[in-house]
Structure 1
Amino acid sequence: MTALLLEPVSRAFTEPAADGYLLGGFEWRQPTPDTTRAVVIINAATSVRCQYYSRFAEYLFSHGLDVMLFDYRGIGASRAGSLRGFEATWSDWGALDAQALLKRAQREYPGQPIDVVGHSFGGCAAGLAASGTAIRHLVTVGAQFAHWRDYAPAQRWQMLAKWHGVMPLLTRVCGYFPGKRMGWLEDTPAGVVKDWGAFSTRYEKLPSARHLTALPFSSVTAKTLAISLSDDPFGTVAAIERLLSHFSASPRTHLRIKPEEIGETSIGHFAFFHSRFQTTLWPIALQWLQAGELALDVPGRVISSKP
Protein backbone atom coordinates (compact mmCIF):
# COMPACT_ATOMS: atom_id res chain seq x y z
CA MET A 1 0.00 0.00 0.00
CA THR A 2 1.65 3.23 -1.15
CA ALA A 3 0.98 6.29 0.98
CA LEU A 4 0.03 9.54 -0.75
CA LEU A 5 2.37 12.44 -0.04
CA LEU A 6 -0.20 14.87 1.31
CA GLU A 7 0.23 17.29 4.20
CA PRO A 8 -1.98 15.95 7.03
CA VAL A 9 -3.71 19.22 7.95
CA SER A 10 -6.96 18.97 9.89
CA ARG A 11 -9.82 21.45 10.06
CA ALA A 12 -12.02 22.00 13.11
CA PHE A 13 -15.78 21.82 12.65
CA THR A 14 -18.96 21.94 14.71
CA GLU A 15 -22.01 19.78 14.07
CA PRO A 16 -25.39 20.00 15.82
CA ALA A 17 -26.98 16.78 17.04
CA ALA A 18 -30.71 16.22 16.52
CA ASP A 19 -31.50 17.79 19.91
CA GLY A 20 -29.46 20.89 19.04
CA TYR A 21 -26.39 20.09 21.14
CA LEU A 22 -23.30 21.39 19.34
CA LEU A 23 -20.53 18.82 18.86
CA GLY A 24 -16.91 19.68 18.09
CA GLY A 25 -14.61 17.70 15.86
CA PHE A 26 -11.80 17.68 13.30
CA GLU A 27 -11.58 16.44 9.74
CA TRP A 28 -8.88 15.60 7.22
CA ARG A 29 -10.30 16.10 3.73
CA GLN A 30 -8.65 15.20 0.43
CA PRO A 31 -8.34 18.11 -2.05
CA THR A 32 -10.74 16.72 -4.65
CA PRO A 33 -14.02 14.80 -4.24
CA ASP A 34 -14.18 11.15 -5.29
CA THR A 35 -17.23 8.93 -4.81
CA THR A 36 -15.02 5.82 -4.82
CA ARG A 37 -13.11 7.07 -1.76
CA ALA A 38 -14.39 6.27 1.74
CA VAL A 39 -14.86 8.77 4.52
CA VAL A 40 -13.91 7.28 7.88
CA ILE A 41 -15.48 8.36 11.18
CA ILE A 42 -13.48 7.52 14.31
CA ASN A 43 -15.64 6.93 17.39
CA ALA A 44 -13.63 7.44 20.58
CA ALA A 45 -13.57 5.34 23.72
CA THR A 46 -15.50 6.48 26.79
CA SER A 47 -14.21 9.85 27.99
CA VAL A 48 -11.18 9.94 25.71
CA ARG A 49 -10.60 13.14 23.74
CA CYS A 50 -10.89 12.61 20.01
CA GLN A 51 -7.48 14.21 19.40
CA TYR A 52 -5.94 11.10 20.94
CA TYR A 53 -6.64 9.49 17.56
CA SER A 54 -5.10 12.27 15.45
CA ARG A 55 -1.98 10.32 14.43
CA PHE A 56 -4.11 7.41 13.31
CA ALA A 57 -6.37 9.81 11.40
CA GLU A 58 -3.33 11.29 9.65
CA TYR A 59 -2.21 7.78 8.71
CA LEU A 60 -5.59 6.99 7.12
CA PHE A 61 -5.57 10.35 5.35
CA SER A 62 -2.07 9.69 3.98
CA HIS A 63 -3.46 6.50 2.41
CA GLY A 64 -6.12 8.40 0.49
CA LEU A 65 -9.10 8.42 2.86
CA ASP A 66 -11.16 11.29 4.24
CA VAL A 67 -11.33 11.19 8.05
CA MET A 68 -13.45 12.76 10.79
CA LEU A 69 -12.93 12.74 14.57
CA PHE A 70 -15.38 14.13 17.11
CA ASP A 71 -15.92 14.41 20.84
CA TYR A 72 -19.05 13.13 22.54
CA ARG A 73 -21.12 15.73 24.38
CA GLY A 74 -19.43 16.79 27.61
CA ILE A 75 -15.95 15.77 26.42
CA GLY A 76 -13.13 17.87 24.90
CA ALA A 77 -14.28 20.05 22.03
CA SER A 78 -17.91 19.14 22.83
CA ARG A 79 -17.87 20.31 26.43
CA ALA A 80 -19.91 23.42 27.16
CA GLY A 81 -19.07 24.26 30.78
CA SER A 82 -19.53 22.43 34.05
CA LEU A 83 -20.62 18.78 34.00
CA ARG A 84 -22.32 19.03 37.38
CA GLY A 85 -25.90 17.98 36.70
CA PHE A 86 -25.16 17.33 33.01
CA GLU A 87 -26.95 14.01 32.44
CA ALA A 88 -25.53 12.77 29.13
CA THR A 89 -25.54 8.97 28.77
CA TRP A 90 -23.99 6.31 26.58
CA SER A 91 -27.26 6.22 24.63
CA ASP A 92 -26.98 9.97 23.98
CA TRP A 93 -23.41 9.51 22.78
CA GLY A 94 -24.52 6.86 20.29
CA ALA A 95 -28.10 7.67 19.28
CA LEU A 96 -27.49 11.44 19.10
CA ASP A 97 -23.75 12.14 18.74
CA ALA A 98 -22.50 9.24 16.58
CA GLN A 99 -25.71 9.64 14.60
CA ALA A 100 -24.94 13.32 13.95
CA LEU A 101 -21.55 12.41 12.49
CA LEU A 102 -23.06 9.80 10.19
CA LYS A 103 -25.54 12.41 8.95
CA ARG A 104 -22.69 14.88 8.46
CA ALA A 105 -20.77 12.33 6.42
CA GLN A 106 -23.79 11.77 4.19
CA ARG A 107 -24.22 15.53 3.69
CA GLU A 108 -20.60 16.66 3.37
CA TYR A 109 -19.29 13.65 1.43
CA PRO A 110 -22.24 12.79 -0.83
CA GLY A 111 -22.02 9.44 -2.58
CA GLN A 112 -18.89 8.31 -0.74
CA PRO A 113 -18.83 5.04 1.21
CA ILE A 114 -18.93 5.58 4.98
CA ASP A 115 -16.65 3.49 7.19
CA VAL A 116 -16.28 3.64 10.97
CA VAL A 117 -13.46 2.83 13.39
CA GLY A 118 -14.71 2.39 16.95
CA HIS A 119 -12.43 2.15 19.99
CA SER A 120 -13.95 0.51 23.09
CA PHE A 121 -17.39 2.17 23.57
CA GLY A 122 -16.93 3.66 20.09
CA GLY A 123 -17.75 0.26 18.60
CA CYS A 124 -20.94 0.16 20.61
CA ALA A 125 -21.82 3.72 19.50
CA ALA A 126 -21.85 2.55 15.87
CA GLY A 127 -24.70 0.21 16.75
CA LEU A 128 -26.75 2.87 18.54
CA ALA A 129 -27.00 5.32 15.62
CA ALA A 130 -30.10 5.03 13.43
CA SER A 131 -27.97 5.76 10.35
CA GLY A 132 -25.67 2.86 11.18
CA THR A 133 -27.31 1.18 8.20
CA ALA A 134 -25.13 3.46 6.03
CA ILE A 135 -21.86 2.04 7.38
CA ARG A 136 -20.01 -0.05 4.79
CA HIS A 137 -17.02 -1.31 6.81
CA LEU A 138 -16.64 -1.24 10.58
CA VAL A 139 -13.38 -1.82 12.47
CA THR A 140 -13.57 -2.04 16.25
CA VAL A 141 -10.60 -2.12 18.62
CA GLY A 142 -11.09 -3.45 22.14
CA ALA A 143 -14.82 -2.80 21.68
CA GLN A 144 -16.87 -4.75 24.17
CA PHE A 145 -19.98 -4.79 26.25
CA ALA A 146 -18.35 -6.09 29.37
CA HIS A 147 -20.16 -7.53 32.32
CA TRP A 148 -17.85 -7.40 35.32
CA ARG A 149 -17.35 -11.17 35.16
CA ASP A 150 -15.81 -10.65 31.69
CA TYR A 151 -12.88 -8.62 33.05
CA ALA A 152 -9.51 -10.37 32.91
CA PRO A 153 -9.27 -12.61 36.02
CA ALA A 154 -5.96 -11.17 37.23
CA GLN A 155 -7.37 -7.61 37.38
CA ARG A 156 -11.07 -8.36 37.89
CA TRP A 157 -11.49 -7.36 41.54
CA GLN A 158 -9.34 -4.25 41.21
CA MET A 159 -11.34 -3.15 38.14
CA LEU A 160 -14.61 -3.93 39.87
CA ALA A 161 -13.64 -1.73 42.81
CA LYS A 162 -12.33 1.09 40.59
CA TRP A 163 -15.04 1.32 37.94
CA HIS A 164 -18.08 0.02 39.81
CA GLY A 165 -17.21 1.32 43.27
CA VAL A 166 -14.98 4.38 43.40
CA MET A 167 -16.18 5.96 40.14
CA PRO A 168 -19.94 5.87 40.97
CA LEU A 169 -19.26 7.02 44.53
CA LEU A 170 -17.25 10.07 43.45
CA THR A 171 -19.88 10.83 40.82
CA ARG A 172 -22.62 10.94 43.45
CA VAL A 173 -20.50 13.31 45.56
CA CYS A 174 -19.43 15.64 42.72
CA GLY A 175 -22.39 15.42 40.33
CA TYR A 176 -20.04 14.08 37.65
CA PHE A 177 -16.91 11.96 37.62
CA PRO A 178 -13.80 14.19 38.07
CA GLY A 179 -11.65 11.94 35.91
CA LYS A 180 -8.98 14.51 35.07
CA ARG A 181 -8.18 15.15 38.73
CA MET A 182 -8.02 11.41 39.33
CA GLY A 183 -5.85 10.78 36.29
CA TRP A 184 -8.57 8.44 34.98
CA LEU A 185 -9.75 9.59 31.56
CA GLU A 186 -11.58 12.91 31.07
CA ASP A 187 -14.28 14.32 33.36
CA THR A 188 -17.36 12.22 32.67
CA PRO A 189 -21.11 12.96 32.81
CA ALA A 190 -23.07 11.23 35.57
CA GLY A 191 -25.38 9.45 33.14
CA VAL A 192 -22.44 7.77 31.42
CA VAL A 193 -21.10 6.64 34.80
CA LYS A 194 -24.51 5.19 35.67
CA ASP A 195 -24.52 3.16 32.45
CA TRP A 196 -20.91 2.02 32.92
CA GLY A 197 -21.51 0.98 36.52
CA ALA A 198 -24.66 -1.02 35.78
CA PHE A 199 -24.41 -4.79 36.18
CA SER A 200 -26.05 -5.58 32.83
CA THR A 201 -25.34 -8.33 30.34
CA ARG A 202 -27.20 -6.71 27.43
CA TYR A 203 -27.23 -3.08 26.27
CA GLU A 204 -31.02 -2.87 26.32
CA LYS A 205 -30.93 -3.43 30.10
CA LEU A 206 -28.84 -0.33 30.81
CA PRO A 207 -30.51 2.63 32.59
CA SER A 208 -30.28 4.92 29.55
CA ALA A 209 -31.58 2.28 27.14
CA ARG A 210 -34.91 1.86 28.85
CA HIS A 211 -36.38 4.94 27.18
CA LEU A 212 -35.30 3.87 23.70
CA THR A 213 -38.04 2.39 21.57
CA ALA A 214 -35.58 0.31 19.54
CA LEU A 215 -31.87 -0.43 19.31
CA PRO A 216 -30.41 -0.14 15.79
CA PHE A 217 -27.67 -2.78 16.35
CA SER A 218 -29.53 -5.50 14.45
CA SER A 219 -30.09 -3.26 11.41
CA VAL A 220 -26.36 -2.60 10.92
CA THR A 221 -25.04 -4.71 8.05
CA ALA A 222 -21.48 -3.34 7.91
CA LYS A 223 -18.72 -5.82 7.22
CA THR A 224 -17.16 -5.84 10.69
CA LEU A 225 -13.67 -6.60 11.98
CA ALA A 226 -13.33 -6.77 15.75
CA ILE A 227 -9.68 -6.50 16.80
CA SER A 228 -8.89 -7.57 20.35
CA LEU A 229 -5.58 -7.69 22.20
CA SER A 230 -4.77 -10.58 24.50
CA ASP A 231 -3.42 -8.28 27.26
CA ASP A 232 -6.46 -5.96 27.29
CA PRO A 233 -8.20 -6.51 30.65
CA PHE A 234 -11.44 -5.01 29.30
CA GLY A 235 -11.39 -6.71 25.91
CA THR A 236 -11.45 -10.37 26.89
CA VAL A 237 -12.85 -12.86 24.40
CA ALA A 238 -16.14 -13.07 26.31
CA ALA A 239 -16.51 -9.27 26.39
CA ILE A 240 -15.75 -8.81 22.69
CA GLU A 241 -18.11 -11.61 21.69
CA ARG A 242 -20.83 -10.15 23.93
CA LEU A 243 -20.84 -6.91 21.92
CA LEU A 244 -20.52 -8.69 18.58
CA SER A 245 -23.66 -10.67 19.38
CA HIS A 246 -25.60 -7.38 19.28
CA PHE A 247 -24.60 -6.92 15.60
CA SER A 248 -26.66 -9.90 14.52
CA ALA A 249 -27.05 -8.84 10.86
CA SER A 250 -23.40 -7.94 10.23
CA PRO A 251 -20.84 -10.26 8.64
CA ARG A 252 -18.18 -10.19 11.32
CA THR A 253 -14.70 -11.45 12.13
CA HIS A 254 -13.01 -11.41 15.53
CA LEU A 255 -9.20 -11.21 15.27
CA ARG A 256 -7.24 -11.64 18.50
CA ILE A 257 -3.60 -10.56 18.62
CA LYS A 258 -0.93 -11.31 21.21
CA PRO A 259 1.74 -8.60 21.69
CA GLU A 260 4.55 -11.11 21.11
CA GLU A 261 3.13 -11.87 17.67
CA ILE A 262 4.26 -8.40 16.58
CA GLY A 263 7.45 -8.36 18.65
CA GLU A 264 6.01 -6.36 21.57
CA THR A 265 5.65 -7.03 25.28
CA SER A 266 2.37 -5.14 25.76
CA ILE A 267 -0.41 -3.33 23.90
CA GLY A 268 -3.36 -3.28 26.29
CA HIS A 269 -6.61 -1.39 25.91
CA PHE A 270 -5.30 1.94 24.57
CA ALA A 271 -1.97 1.54 22.80
CA PHE A 272 -3.27 0.27 19.43
CA PHE A 273 -3.58 3.93 18.39
CA HIS A 274 -0.02 4.87 19.39
CA SER A 275 2.12 5.72 16.37
CA ARG A 276 4.68 3.06 17.26
CA PHE A 277 2.21 0.54 15.85
CA GLN A 278 1.95 2.29 12.50
CA THR A 279 3.77 -0.49 10.65
CA THR A 280 2.44 -3.47 12.60
CA LEU A 281 -1.17 -2.92 13.66
CA TRP A 282 -2.50 0.03 11.69
CA PRO A 283 -2.22 -1.74 8.30
CA ILE A 284 -4.69 -4.38 9.58
CA ALA A 285 -7.36 -1.72 10.08
CA LEU A 286 -6.46 0.04 6.81
CA GLN A 287 -6.74 -3.19 4.80
CA TRP A 288 -10.19 -3.88 6.22
CA LEU A 289 -11.39 -0.32 5.58
CA GLN A 290 -10.17 -0.44 2.00
CA ALA A 291 -11.04 -4.02 1.03
CA GLY A 292 -13.25 -5.49 3.74
CA GLU A 293 -10.89 -8.40 4.28
CA LEU A 294 -7.80 -9.50 6.17
CA ALA A 295 -4.40 -9.80 4.54
CA LEU A 296 -3.02 -13.35 4.30
CA ASP A 297 -0.07 -12.57 6.59
CA VAL A 298 -2.06 -10.84 9.32
CA PRO A 299 -0.81 -11.54 12.87
CA GLY A 300 -3.05 -13.16 15.46
CA ARG A 301 -5.79 -15.73 15.07
CA VAL A 302 -9.43 -15.56 14.12
CA ILE A 303 -11.56 -16.36 17.16
CA SER A 304 -14.89 -16.31 15.37
CA SER A 305 -16.25 -15.49 11.94
CA LYS A 306 -19.80 -15.07 10.69
CA PRO A 307 -20.17 -14.54 6.94
Structure 2
Amino acid sequence: MNDMLEGRVVIVTGAGRGLGRAHALAFAAAGAKVVVNDFDPGKDGRPAGESPAEQVVDAIRAAGGEAVVNGDDIADWDGAERLVNTALDGFGRLDVLVNNGGFLRDRMLATMSEEEWDAVIRVHLKGHFAPMRHASTYWRAQAKAGNTVDARVINTSSGAGLLGSIGQGNYAAAKAGIAALTIQAAAEFARYGITVNAIAPAARTRMTVGAGGAMAETMAAPEEGFDAMAPENVSPLVVWLGSAASAHVTGRVFEVEGGKVSLADGWRHGTVIDKGARWDPQELGPVVDELIGGAVPPTPVYGA
Protein backbone atom coordinates (compact mmCIF):
# COMPACT_ATOMS: atom_id res chain seq x y z
CA MET A 1 0.00 0.00 0.00
CA ASN A 2 1.01 3.63 -0.54
CA ASP A 3 -0.35 6.87 0.87
CA MET A 4 -1.34 8.78 -2.30
CA LEU A 5 -5.01 8.73 -1.22
CA GLU A 6 -4.38 8.54 2.53
CA GLY A 7 -7.35 9.95 4.46
CA ARG A 8 -9.60 10.26 1.41
CA VAL A 9 -12.97 8.53 1.15
CA VAL A 10 -13.97 7.13 -2.23
CA ILE A 11 -17.21 5.75 -3.66
CA VAL A 12 -16.88 3.39 -6.63
CA THR A 13 -20.12 2.34 -8.32
CA GLY A 14 -20.41 -1.01 -10.06
CA ALA A 15 -17.43 -2.14 -8.02
CA GLY A 16 -18.23 -5.84 -7.64
CA ARG A 17 -16.55 -6.88 -10.87
CA GLY A 18 -14.44 -5.72 -13.78
CA LEU A 19 -13.27 -2.13 -13.92
CA GLY A 20 -15.08 -1.11 -10.75
CA ARG A 21 -13.50 -3.90 -8.75
CA ALA A 22 -10.06 -2.98 -10.09
CA HIS A 23 -10.66 0.69 -9.18
CA ALA A 24 -11.82 -0.14 -5.65
CA LEU A 25 -8.79 -2.33 -4.96
CA ALA A 26 -6.42 0.27 -6.43
CA PHE A 27 -7.89 3.10 -4.34
CA ALA A 28 -7.62 0.98 -1.21
CA ALA A 29 -4.00 0.13 -2.06
CA ALA A 30 -3.35 3.87 -2.30
CA GLY A 31 -4.66 4.40 1.24
CA ALA A 32 -8.28 5.41 0.58
CA LYS A 33 -11.33 4.23 2.47
CA VAL A 34 -13.71 2.77 -0.08
CA VAL A 35 -17.46 2.40 -0.44
CA VAL A 36 -17.92 -0.59 -2.75
CA ASN A 37 -21.24 -0.15 -4.52
CA ASP A 38 -22.72 -3.04 -6.49
CA PHE A 39 -26.38 -3.48 -7.38
CA ASP A 40 -25.22 -6.60 -9.24
CA PRO A 41 -27.25 -6.47 -12.42
CA GLY A 42 -26.49 -9.24 -14.88
CA LYS A 43 -25.51 -8.30 -18.41
CA ASP A 44 -29.22 -7.93 -19.20
CA GLY A 45 -30.04 -6.08 -16.00
CA ARG A 46 -31.65 -8.95 -14.06
CA PRO A 47 -30.50 -9.60 -10.47
CA ALA A 48 -27.75 -12.20 -10.55
CA GLY A 49 -27.84 -13.48 -7.00
CA GLU A 50 -25.48 -12.65 -4.14
CA SER A 51 -23.51 -9.49 -4.75
CA PRO A 52 -19.76 -9.94 -5.19
CA ALA A 53 -19.18 -6.61 -3.42
CA GLU A 54 -18.55 -8.37 -0.11
CA GLN A 55 -15.70 -10.27 -1.75
CA VAL A 56 -14.11 -6.98 -2.81
CA VAL A 57 -14.53 -5.57 0.69
CA ASP A 58 -13.03 -8.73 2.19
CA ALA A 59 -10.03 -8.44 -0.13
CA ILE A 60 -9.50 -4.81 0.85
CA ARG A 61 -9.74 -5.59 4.55
CA ALA A 62 -7.43 -8.59 4.20
CA ALA A 63 -4.82 -6.24 2.75
CA GLY A 64 -5.18 -3.88 5.73
CA GLY A 65 -7.57 -1.38 4.15
CA GLU A 66 -11.00 -0.07 5.09
CA ALA A 67 -14.13 -0.61 3.02
CA VAL A 68 -17.90 -1.00 3.30
CA VAL A 69 -20.55 -2.36 0.96
CA ASN A 70 -23.45 -0.45 -0.55
CA GLY A 71 -26.05 -2.30 -2.62
CA ASP A 72 -28.22 0.56 -3.84
CA ASP A 73 -29.39 1.13 -7.41
CA ILE A 74 -27.34 4.13 -8.62
CA ALA A 75 -30.08 5.22 -11.04
CA ASP A 76 -32.70 5.37 -8.27
CA TRP A 77 -32.87 8.88 -6.80
CA ASP A 78 -33.23 7.79 -3.18
CA GLY A 79 -30.77 4.95 -3.70
CA ALA A 80 -28.13 7.39 -4.96
CA GLU A 81 -28.68 9.52 -1.87
CA ARG A 82 -28.30 6.47 0.36
CA LEU A 83 -25.06 5.66 -1.46
CA VAL A 84 -23.58 9.05 -0.58
CA ASN A 85 -24.86 8.71 2.99
CA THR A 86 -23.11 5.34 3.27
CA ALA A 87 -19.80 7.16 2.91
CA LEU A 88 -20.79 9.97 5.28
CA ASP A 89 -22.21 7.65 7.92
CA GLY A 90 -19.41 5.08 7.66
CA PHE A 91 -16.38 7.33 7.28
CA GLY A 92 -17.58 10.85 8.14
CA ARG A 93 -16.74 12.42 4.78
CA LEU A 94 -16.62 11.94 1.01
CA ASP A 95 -13.81 13.07 -1.28
CA VAL A 96 -14.08 11.09 -4.52
CA LEU A 97 -16.97 9.70 -6.55
CA VAL A 98 -16.14 7.22 -9.32
CA ASN A 99 -19.18 6.64 -11.53
CA ASN A 100 -18.56 3.30 -13.20
CA GLY A 101 -21.67 1.10 -12.99
CA GLY A 102 -23.63 0.03 -16.06
CA PHE A 103 -24.72 -2.77 -18.38
CA LEU A 104 -25.50 -3.46 -22.05
CA ARG A 105 -28.62 -4.19 -24.09
CA ASP A 106 -27.08 -4.36 -27.56
CA ARG A 107 -29.19 -4.23 -30.70
CA MET A 108 -29.28 -2.38 -34.01
CA LEU A 109 -31.32 0.80 -33.83
CA ALA A 110 -33.82 -0.42 -36.41
CA THR A 111 -34.86 -3.29 -34.14
CA MET A 112 -34.16 -1.86 -30.65
CA SER A 113 -37.08 -1.88 -28.24
CA GLU A 114 -38.16 1.02 -26.04
CA GLU A 115 -37.23 -1.01 -22.95
CA GLU A 116 -33.73 -1.70 -24.30
CA TRP A 117 -33.26 2.00 -24.95
CA ASP A 118 -34.67 3.17 -21.63
CA ALA A 119 -32.78 0.63 -19.49
CA VAL A 120 -29.35 1.58 -20.84
CA ILE A 121 -29.96 5.34 -20.81
CA ARG A 122 -31.22 5.02 -17.23
CA VAL A 123 -28.39 3.01 -15.72
CA HIS A 124 -25.57 4.88 -17.47
CA LEU A 125 -26.76 8.47 -17.79
CA LYS A 126 -29.09 8.83 -14.81
CA GLY A 127 -26.78 6.46 -12.92
CA HIS A 128 -24.05 9.07 -13.33
CA PHE A 129 -26.19 12.13 -12.67
CA ALA A 130 -27.98 10.93 -9.52
CA PRO A 131 -24.87 10.04 -7.43
CA MET A 132 -23.09 13.16 -8.71
CA ARG A 133 -26.06 15.32 -7.76
CA HIS A 134 -26.20 14.03 -4.18
CA ALA A 135 -22.41 14.12 -3.75
CA SER A 136 -22.25 17.69 -5.05
CA THR A 137 -25.00 18.72 -2.62
CA TYR A 138 -22.77 17.59 0.24
CA TRP A 139 -19.66 19.29 -1.18
CA ARG A 140 -21.55 22.51 -1.97
CA ALA A 141 -22.81 22.68 1.61
CA GLN A 142 -19.27 22.14 2.89
CA ALA A 143 -17.95 24.95 0.69
CA LYS A 144 -20.73 27.32 1.74
CA ALA A 145 -19.93 26.55 5.39
CA GLY A 146 -16.39 27.78 4.79
CA ASN A 147 -14.72 24.37 4.73
CA THR A 148 -12.03 23.58 2.18
CA VAL A 149 -13.31 21.19 -0.48
CA ASP A 150 -10.89 19.24 -2.67
CA ALA A 151 -13.33 16.81 -4.26
CA ARG A 152 -13.20 14.67 -7.38
CA VAL A 153 -15.73 13.09 -9.72
CA ILE A 154 -14.45 10.57 -12.27
CA ASN A 155 -17.08 9.52 -14.81
CA THR A 156 -16.93 6.61 -17.24
CA SER A 157 -17.63 7.34 -20.88
CA SER A 158 -16.53 5.04 -23.72
CA GLY A 159 -15.02 5.00 -27.16
CA ALA A 160 -18.57 4.18 -28.24
CA GLY A 161 -19.70 7.51 -26.79
CA LEU A 162 -16.88 9.41 -28.47
CA LEU A 163 -17.06 7.75 -31.89
CA GLY A 164 -20.19 5.57 -32.02
CA SER A 165 -20.38 1.77 -32.16
CA ILE A 166 -22.50 -0.26 -34.55
CA GLY A 167 -25.16 -2.25 -32.68
CA GLN A 168 -24.85 -0.13 -29.53
CA GLY A 169 -26.86 3.01 -30.25
CA ASN A 170 -28.36 3.19 -26.76
CA TYR A 171 -24.98 2.71 -25.09
CA ALA A 172 -23.23 5.14 -27.44
CA ALA A 173 -25.87 7.82 -26.80
CA ALA A 174 -25.62 7.34 -23.03
CA LYS A 175 -21.82 7.45 -23.03
CA ALA A 176 -21.80 10.54 -25.28
CA GLY A 177 -24.17 12.14 -22.80
CA ILE A 178 -21.76 11.29 -19.98
CA ALA A 179 -18.91 13.02 -21.80
CA ALA A 180 -21.01 16.15 -22.23
CA LEU A 181 -22.25 15.91 -18.62
CA THR A 182 -18.63 15.79 -17.47
CA ILE A 183 -17.79 19.05 -19.24
CA GLN A 184 -20.99 20.68 -17.95
CA ALA A 185 -20.45 19.59 -14.35
CA ALA A 186 -16.80 20.67 -14.39
CA ALA A 187 -17.85 24.20 -15.34
CA GLU A 188 -20.63 24.37 -12.74
CA PHE A 189 -18.83 22.71 -9.83
CA ALA A 190 -15.45 24.50 -10.05
CA ARG A 191 -16.58 27.23 -7.66
CA TYR A 192 -17.10 24.62 -4.93
CA GLY A 193 -13.66 22.96 -5.20
CA ILE A 194 -14.89 19.98 -7.24
CA THR A 195 -13.14 18.71 -10.35
CA VAL A 196 -14.96 16.48 -12.84
CA ASN A 197 -13.20 14.33 -15.43
CA ALA A 198 -14.06 11.22 -17.41
CA ILE A 199 -12.30 8.19 -18.79
CA ALA A 200 -13.12 6.25 -21.96
CA PRO A 201 -11.55 2.89 -21.09
CA ALA A 202 -10.89 -0.19 -23.20
CA ALA A 203 -10.60 -3.34 -21.11
CA ARG A 204 -11.79 -6.91 -20.94
CA THR A 205 -14.80 -7.18 -18.61
CA ARG A 206 -17.94 -9.29 -18.53
CA MET A 207 -19.70 -6.44 -20.38
CA THR A 208 -17.24 -6.52 -23.29
CA VAL A 209 -16.51 -10.25 -23.48
CA GLY A 210 -19.26 -11.78 -25.57
CA ALA A 211 -20.98 -8.43 -26.14
CA GLY A 212 -22.68 -7.95 -29.48
CA GLY A 213 -21.25 -4.47 -30.06
CA ALA A 214 -18.55 -3.80 -32.61
CA MET A 215 -16.14 -2.55 -29.94
CA ALA A 216 -16.04 -6.03 -28.41
CA GLU A 217 -14.48 -7.36 -31.60
CA THR A 218 -11.33 -5.32 -30.85
CA MET A 219 -10.83 -6.82 -27.38
CA ALA A 220 -7.69 -8.90 -27.59
CA ALA A 221 -7.25 -12.05 -25.53
CA PRO A 222 -4.40 -11.98 -23.01
CA GLU A 223 -1.03 -12.98 -24.37
CA GLU A 224 2.07 -14.09 -22.56
CA GLY A 225 3.54 -11.15 -20.68
CA PHE A 226 1.69 -7.84 -20.42
CA ASP A 227 -2.10 -8.27 -20.64
CA ALA A 228 -3.07 -5.01 -22.35
CA MET A 229 -6.81 -5.60 -21.84
CA ALA A 230 -6.70 -6.28 -18.07
CA PRO A 231 -9.07 -3.92 -16.19
CA GLU A 232 -6.29 -3.19 -13.69
CA ASN A 233 -4.45 -1.19 -16.36
CA VAL A 234 -7.16 1.48 -16.33
CA SER A 235 -7.20 2.06 -12.57
CA PRO A 236 -3.90 3.96 -12.09
CA LEU A 237 -5.24 6.95 -14.05
CA VAL A 238 -8.50 6.83 -12.10
CA VAL A 239 -6.58 6.80 -8.81
CA TRP A 240 -4.43 9.73 -9.93
CA LEU A 241 -7.52 11.69 -10.99
CA GLY A 242 -8.92 11.06 -7.52
CA SER A 243 -5.81 12.37 -5.77
CA ALA A 244 -4.88 15.85 -4.58
CA ALA A 245 -2.27 15.98 -7.36
CA SER A 246 -4.99 16.31 -10.03
CA ALA A 247 -6.54 19.53 -8.70
CA HIS A 248 -5.56 21.47 -11.84
CA VAL A 249 -7.28 19.03 -14.23
CA THR A 250 -11.02 19.27 -14.87
CA GLY A 251 -13.49 18.94 -17.71
CA ARG A 252 -11.32 16.44 -19.58
CA VAL A 253 -11.98 13.04 -21.13
CA PHE A 254 -9.10 10.57 -21.23
CA GLU A 255 -8.90 7.41 -23.33
CA VAL A 256 -6.99 4.66 -21.58
CA GLU A 257 -6.12 1.15 -22.72
CA GLY A 258 -3.28 -1.07 -21.53
CA GLY A 259 -0.27 1.20 -21.16
CA LYS A 260 -1.72 3.93 -23.38
CA VAL A 261 -3.25 7.19 -22.14
CA SER A 262 -4.53 9.91 -24.45
CA LEU A 263 -6.62 13.04 -24.19
CA ALA A 264 -9.81 12.91 -26.26
CA ASP A 265 -10.30 16.07 -28.29
CA GLY A 266 -14.05 16.75 -28.39
CA TRP A 267 -16.39 18.93 -30.38
CA ARG A 268 -15.13 22.42 -31.16
CA HIS A 269 -16.10 25.25 -33.49
CA GLY A 270 -14.91 24.64 -37.04
CA THR A 271 -14.28 26.87 -40.05
CA VAL A 272 -16.95 29.52 -40.61
CA ILE A 273 -18.22 30.89 -43.93
CA ASP A 274 -20.23 34.06 -43.26
CA LYS A 275 -22.35 35.60 -46.01
CA GLY A 276 -23.38 38.45 -43.74
CA ALA A 277 -27.01 37.86 -44.72
CA ARG A 278 -29.59 35.05 -44.84
CA TRP A 279 -28.63 32.16 -47.11
CA ASP A 280 -30.82 30.91 -49.93
CA PRO A 281 -31.11 27.10 -49.72
CA GLN A 282 -29.88 26.77 -53.31
CA GLU A 283 -26.61 28.50 -52.39
CA LEU A 284 -25.66 26.13 -49.59
CA GLY A 285 -24.54 23.01 -51.46
CA PRO A 286 -21.13 24.45 -52.47
CA VAL A 287 -20.78 26.07 -49.03
CA VAL A 288 -21.25 22.75 -47.22
CA ASP A 289 -18.89 21.01 -49.64
CA GLU A 290 -16.22 23.65 -48.96
CA LEU A 291 -16.64 23.28 -45.18
CA ILE A 292 -16.39 19.48 -45.35
CA GLY A 293 -13.49 19.60 -47.81
CA GLY A 294 -11.46 21.79 -45.47
CA ALA A 295 -12.19 19.77 -42.32
CA VAL A 296 -10.34 16.83 -40.78
CA PRO A 297 -12.29 13.64 -41.64
CA PRO A 298 -14.07 12.17 -38.62
CA THR A 299 -12.74 8.99 -37.04
CA PRO A 300 -14.89 6.08 -38.28
CA VAL A 301 -17.60 4.62 -36.08
CA TYR A 302 -16.54 1.33 -34.45
CA GLY A 303 -17.69 -1.50 -36.71
CA ALA A 304 -18.48 0.74 -39.68
Alignment TM class, shorter chain as reference: 0.3 to 0.5
TM-score normalised over the length of structure 1: 0.41
Point out the structure with max Rg over C-alpha. Answer: 2
Q: TM-score, normalization: structure 2?
A: 0.42
